[in-house]
Structure 1
């Protein structure tokens, strides 16, 4: 087979691995094609580091293996990108902030190491919202710049894993890793028309699906997790299976599914977005999915009592611990904060450094978070639900604010609201409850801007959630590639 550039960049992760394992496509040829595309699309600002020599060398090592050896590697020759706040040996891990620019940890994060051990080829590091403290990925650090949405370069890709999402949507890489605290894999997945998984976190111990201790520049140990991102649910399932050691997964049977529609997360939507997601809902219902309206009237109030306390209290201790554990060039949070380049992130860290809400934090952890988790558990059990379904975001991608990094937005002419709160409203509750969430493409608002639907499942139901996602993907399909 002749592998033209167009054929190569159109490959999903699963298709690329199959082609390389079978010997139809050389890993080095594929890597070179994607590296060239990354260079051609450098103005997208999706990447902070592109490792041309390292990626080609890794791909050649895959090509040098015998057919049986390649077949034993579930990710043989698969090019991936990794968000710039996840530790990578020999490649910068800066969280896209000036104080950490050029810092190289001694070891890969465990999730990265498992992918590399399975044959993945690391192309480079993905740009992001500075220190992951935002949802636009409008990074105003001179070394990084704002990430742009491949579907409209004047608009945000979402964040904070915006570089990972933009690169995957732009066909620079078929898959990669982001991180998620309040919605950072799922929001950019929705706005860039791809798939993003937030794995279960639960109590942060045995209930945590991915274990990457002190291997991610942190915001919140209660909420932070690495998460796979790709263009299809099948590809996200492939990466998740390698990280967790699970095997292949069959799609769920649609006719047996009971899916809850939580009323608070369907309210106040942008009309163009609602039109697109309602069409997707109609397709799913026509295919046999049973939808069950659920009230969850206390959801947003409970979430607010948890979210603000965690966001203000945990970053100081957690970031300090990462700096020390990784022998970073700056050993104190104040030193990092002093060099923050993005005004919105600087303001957030000013609030964090001034936080005196110890009592609020303890109450949030010991009282309000358990109540939020109980609300989810009771909702799933009482209605016999497999999952909840709702729009990942309230609105499609808005224009980039290159002055402040984040601004205020208006939904259909209503009074302006904080941009972060507007986008986080639907994703944040699952983060605070520690349950898994899967964002998948639902359609195009205004005929051109991707929007998504999110599936949330009970704690530990990640595999079931992915199986449902596989079934939904067969019905909804994938979105057309951006015209670049």
Structure 2
């Protein structure tokens, strides 16, 4: 028998392949656990019939592949032909795309069993996953259901942390795979995006409900780095990541990313750094000059202008008829998201957009390129979020929080601070487990690398995880 609460994706696949268990038993275990843990609200659709039908075909030898029988969940902004793709917003609740997103299709071709669609922050415009649409509702953190799991891929991370599945797909615009990974003790990859084209690792354009063509990407999420690396291997067809040798590796430690930390996050991260030093990693203490200031010139302009073009283009490409951008905006249920769409619908940042894309974003990318080159770095190391998971705000969806009892600060700006700059520069980033606070909340550690270094980044993650370990299961 396989213990599905501790088995890796590879172990589940091997057990099915070797006929130690059936794919139907694996699917049923995931479906049963999803039903038992419905109060977490991790999934908006639990597809019993579809999952068991697919699993039976695996057992009959009709579906084969390197992931045959592996149960997964898929974020509800990623197109699925057999299930609605709502992005957690009322206007799209019954939207049925014509085809699966390419990254999902590659997983399906490899034999995965999709057990359902994962809940998310409405339209992916937030980092709490406190969705206030009536059919969706807030996702809850398995380590403390009064707290957020992070977002916008909070449903995927909550399902993984709760041991419903070992892995699945999220998406990332400013931190949406990495923030929930950090706050739930799981692993999230933001693949390279660069300037698009050949620099983009995953090609799902037009098949994911968008925020920004410049920033969006699908990203794999898992309980371990190995789970994430396995999905990345299948999606990209590239070489499987192997653990890197840590001795002699140089990781930048930029002071600006380490400022203002919650005391418990700081304690966990310094302990992690000590372990990495003992393993031979050279931690290079050098800041990235003016990185946050330069990022501010880019971030909101891109994210709040591009949806004007990208959402209508998505609707057309997906074959979703009879719904307009204006109708989507008018029906938004979450106050925080509705506020952002006020700026989108008036194109408040349209005039600034050409300069941002021609001058400001390239300047941000140059800051990173110079930093990697001048300090001869293999990666950049920092806390994924500067505080553990804050409490759920059922009034606004994303309100304020306090760090160590200090003055209230915006949840969005605080939690996304460290993940956003690399996103705007198009870099790959990997968040993995660093440790637990005294109150039992996970803390995440992120490594960013140069564009195109995804496989090496995963290799570094495999090696670091071997030293730091993985998160204990939540007590559910």
TM-score interval, normalised by the smaller of the two chains? over 0.9
**How far is 1:373 from its partner?**
0.6
CA distance in structure 2 between the partners assigned to 1:231 and 1:8 by the alignment? 12
Cα distance in 2 for residues equivalent to 1:57 and 1:443: 39
Using the size of structure 1 for normalisation, the TM-score is 0.97
Q: Find out whether 1:298 has 2:294 as its counterpart.
A: no
For 2:141, the equivalent position in structure 1 comes to 149
TM-superposed CA distance for 1:447, in Å, is 3.8
Q: How far apart are the structure 1 equivalents of 2:319 and 2:459?
A: 41
Quote the offset at 1:394 in angstroms.
0.8
| Aligned counterpart in structure 1 of residue 302 of structure 2, from 307, 310, 317 | 310
Describe the SS at the equivalent of 2:352.
helix
In structure 2, the residue matched to 1:332 is 324
Match of 2:384 in 1: 392
TM alignment of 1:172-191, pairs within 5 A: 172-191=164-183
Cα deviation for residue 262 of structure 1 reads: 1.1
CA contact (8 A) 2:205 2:213 kept: no
Deviation larger for 369-378 or 11-20: 11-20
Please give the secondary structure, in 2, of the residue aligned with 1:350. helix
How far off is 1:410 after superposition?
A: 1.6
Alignment of 1:109-258 (within 5 A): 109-258=101-250
Secondary structure, in 3 states, of the residue corresponding to 1:359?
coil
**Equivalent-residue separation in structure 1 for 2:444 and 2:203 (angstroms):** 27
Deviation, 1:439, is: 0.3
Deviation sequence 1:263-292 (CA, Å, 0-9, x none): 110001111111111111111111111100
Offset, 1:297: 2.1
Distance of 2:36 and 2:419 partners within structure 1: 33
Q: Give the deviation of 1:329 after TM superposition.
A: 4.3
Preserved CA contact (<8 Å) 2:212 2:306:
yes
Instruction: Please say if residues 86 and 94 of structure 2, whose CA atoms lie closer than 8 Å, have aligned partners that are also in contact.
Output: yes
Distance 2:66 2:439 in 1: 37
Indicate if the aligned counterparts of 1:185 and 1:227 stay in contact, CA closer than 8 A.
yes
Task: State how far apart, in whole Å, the 1-side matches of 2:406 and 2:283 are.
Answer: 30
Q: 2:89 aligns with which of 88, 97, 107?
A: 97
Q: For residues 288-336 of structure 1, give each alpha carbon's deviation from its aligned partner in whole angstroms, at most 9, with x where no partner exists.
A: 1110011212100010001021122111111111112223244321100
Q: C-alpha distance in 2, partners of 1:102/1:373?
A: 39
In 2: Cα distance, 1:430 partner to 1:282 partner = 25
Aligned to 1:369: 361
In the alignment, is the contact (CA less than 8 A) between 2:240 and 2:455 conserved in 1?
no
**Mean Cα deviation higher: 228-237 or 21-30:** 21-30
Q: CA deviation at 1:167?
A: 0.3
Q: In the TM superposition, what whole-angstrom CA distance separates every residue of 1:146-173 from its partner, at most 9, and x where no partner exists?
A: 0000000000000000000000000111
Deviation at 1:113, TM superposition (A): 0.3
Once residues 78 and 330 of structure 2 are traced to their aligned partners in structure 1, the CA distance between those partners, rounded to angstroms, is 22
Match of 1:433 among 425, 433, 439: 425
Partners of 1:100 and 1:330 within 8 A in 2: no
Superposed, 1:7-156 pairs within 5 Å as 7-65=3-61, 70=64, 73-156=65-148
Query: In the alignment, which of 246, 260, 277 is matched to residue 252 of structure 2?
Result: 260
**3-state SS, counterpart of residue 472 of structure 1:** helix
Deviation at residue 355 of structure 1 after TM alignment: 2.5
Please report how far the alpha carbon of residue 8 of structure 1 lies from its aligned counterpart in structure 2 after TM superposition.
2.3
1:323 to 296, 311, 315: 315
Number of aligned residue pairs: 476
Q: Which moved more, 1:288-297 or 1:186-195?
A: 288-297
**Separation in 2, partners of 1:296, 1:253:** 25
Deviations 1:88-110 (A, max 9, x none): 01111000100000212111000
Question: 2: distance between equivalents of 1:466 and 1:449?
Answer: 24
Residue deviations 1:199-237, cap 9 Å, x none? 000111111000012100000000000000000101100
Give the conservation status (yes or no) of the 8 Å contact 1:55–1:123.
yes
1:352 to 325, 344, 347: 344
3-state SS in 2 of match to 1:190? helix
> Following the alignment from structure 1 to structure 2, what is the Cα–Cα distance between the partners of residues 423 and 248?
31
Do the aligned partners of 2:251 and 2:281 also contact (CA within 8 Å) in 1? Answer: yes
Of 436, 450, 468 in structure 1, the residue corresponding to residue 442 of structure 2 is 450
